[in-house]
């Protein structure tokens, strides 16, 4: 059973001192976005993130994951027409993941992927939530603010 939340994941890699981000073209909609999916059953968001990154890009579940403060809500009906009782909107939680190389094996959900710098990737992304999350990830990486514990503490201050 699908859990009432969405996860968004941007793989990143540092090459020759610069950060690059993988974005994916969806087969069904033809749009560019990060890896996206939802929790299954009682799965915690970080477990869903690890599973989705592995399923959609074969990124190891033990890779370095970064929880971002960026989040939004999306209509539950947009997730395969699903509804959870009186839940109309579900949270979308954003993460980054360090990829071991630029060689990704993508799932049937995507037709291709690109490695781009932040500015170029943002120009191709469809959804504002993706753009905001990628901006935050880039900023955190370039400014040494990517520690997951610090990010979670920052998020809790807002809740």
Torsional sign, CA 27, 28, 30, 32: negative
pLDDT for the residue 157: 56
Q: How far apart are CA 131 and CA 122, in angstroms?
A: 5
3-state DSSP assignment of residue 37 = strand
**CA–CA distance from 117 to each of 12, 53, 107, 159 (Å)?**
10, 20, 23, 31
Q: How far apart are CA 99 and CA 54, in angstroms?
A: 11
pLDDT for the residue 148: 53
pTM of the model: 0.89
| pLDDT of 155 strictly over 60 | no
Q: Which residue has the higher pLDDT, 144 or 84?
A: 144
How many other β-carbons are positioned within 10 Å of the β-carbon of residue 79? 19
Q: How far apart are CA 144 and CA 109, in angstroms?
A: 33
| pLDDT of 83 strictly over 70 | no
What backbone phi and psi angles, to 5 degrees, belong to 50? -60, -45
CB 52 within 8 A of CB 8: no
Domain ranges of the chain: 2-158
| pLDDT of 51 strictly over 80 | yes
Q: Does CATH place domain 2-158 in 3.90.79.10?
A: yes
Assign 88 a pLDDT band (cuts: 50, 70, 90): confident
pLDDT tens digits along 90-133: 999 999 999 999 999 999 999 999 999 999 999 999 999 999 99
Report the mean per-residue pLDDT for the chain.
Answer: 90
């Amino acid at each position: 059973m699908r859990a009432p939340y969405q996860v968004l994941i941007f793989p990143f890699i540092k090459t020759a001192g610069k950060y690059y981000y993988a974005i994916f073209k969806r087969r069904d909609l033809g749009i560019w976005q990060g890896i996206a999916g939802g929790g299954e059953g009682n799965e915690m968001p970080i477990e869903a993130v690890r599973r989705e990154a592995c399923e959609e890009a074969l990124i190891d579940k033990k890779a370095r994951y970064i929880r971002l403060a960026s989040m939004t809500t999306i209509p539950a009906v947009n997730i395969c027409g699903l509804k959870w009782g009186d839940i109309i909107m579900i949270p979308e939680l954003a993460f980054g993941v360090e990829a071991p190389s630029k060689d990704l094996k993508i799932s049937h959900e995507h037709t291709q992927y690109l490695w781009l710098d932040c500015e170029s990737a943002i120009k191709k992304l469809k959804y504002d939530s993706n753009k905001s999350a990628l901006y935050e990830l880039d900023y955190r990486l370039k400014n040494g603010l990517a520690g997951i514990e610090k990010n979670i503490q920052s998020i809790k201050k807002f809740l």
